[in-house]
Amino acid sequence: MKFVHIADMHFDAPFTSLNSKENLGEKRRLEQRNAFKKVIDFIEKNGVEYFFIAGDLYEQEYVKKSTIDFITKEFNRIPNTKIFITPGNHDPYLKNSYYATHDFGDNVMVFSSPKVEKYEDENVNVYGMAFNDFYMNSSELESVNVPFSNKLNILVAHCDLNGSKDEDGFSYNPALESKLNGLGFDYIALGHVHKNNIENKNKIYYPGSTISLGFDELGSHGMIAGDITKSGFSMEFVELDDRKFEEIEIAVDGLNSKEELAEKILDRYINDMTMYKIVLVGRRNFEIDTRLLLQMVSHDNILKIKDCTNLAIDLEHIALQDTLKGMFVREVCKMYEQGLCSEKEYQKAIEIGLEAM
């Protein structure tokens, strides 16, 4: 049985973290569509029989009717492929959701209940369930009864494997890996975690988000394609995202001005299809204003600059001097010790004051 497994496409995501660059969010939404077309092209070319979409196909809050029509049009290109969708916490099955009101095609099955349902085919049983809200604090997955048969048994779910509650006290269909492993499924297609676990040695897999949604999702993004029989399965990870997100560390040691730092950043090789977050490290000799530095660099592919540097100034030595600088440092240190300013305010005052002198 040939299959393709994707999850966490998040169609029409707002990409708020990328809005520092004009139109980048719009570009990423087009790139989502391009990645999805690649999935359908692969299925069509390779005669894939089953297509599993393990939740968060779209963003319920933002998705447009035109995007739903695009998805449907792509599904119609593969009428001989059976498509199974398990709604997740970003695209739950609600009364007013497109899952409940839109016809995606005769070859598409959308699971609609938080209780596990079973679709029986001639040679395959596909089990799945749906989020009916934006969270799910308990799960039925661990108690699914899989009867012994010669058929392949597949589970498709949006699930937080070995997960715990978030900071607001919500869970997202938590299930223990050890429990799922013992249920007897031939393959478990999960969604929710945006990083793939393709190196996993059991039968439980996350493909990760189909394209990266930002700098918290570094690495490769795409889909899992495979072939399953009762005697085993083969699979591969297929990259779909043409754009990469990368963090680069740049040391500021020995630099004496923001101009030198800007030049050092721009001297790095910048790939046109990679978006960069610059992380500054080392000991700084001058005040660093990351917002101003980002404007100075002014490169379309550099989205963020984070300052993780420390002061390179020997404050103890300066404080001992009988000079204006020494008096200034002693006074600022006294204010900090008395709790009259925060550490960040203290460091900024030292930098700005000494640079001015």
Could you read off the pLDDT tens digit of each residue along the chain, which spans 357 residues? Answer: 999 999 999 999 988 777 666 678 888 999 999 999 999 999 999 999 999 999 999 999 999 999 999 999 999 999 999 999 999 999 999 999 999 999 999 999 999 999 999 999 888 999 999 999 999 888 888 888 888 778 999 999 999 988 776 766 778 888 888 899 889 899 999 999 999 999 888 899 999 999 999 888 998 999 999 999 888 889 999 999 999 999 999 999 999 899 999 999 999 888 888 999 999 999 988 889 999 999 999 888 898 999 999 877 777 778 788 888 888 888 888 888 888 888 878 777 887 787 777
| Contact yes or no for 118/110 (Cβ under 8 A) | no
Q: Which class does domain 2-239 fall in?
A: alpha beta
- Residue pair 56/9 in contact (Cβ under 8 Å)? The answer is yes
pTM: 0.85
Q: How crowded is residue 80: how many other Cβ atoms within 10 Å of its Cβ?
A: 10
Sign of the CA dihedral with 184 first, then 187, 189, and 195 last? positive
Q: Which residues pair with 51 in a beta bridge?
A: 4, 83
Pairing mode of beta strands 222-229, 2-6: antiparallel
The domain locations on the chain are 2-239, 244-356
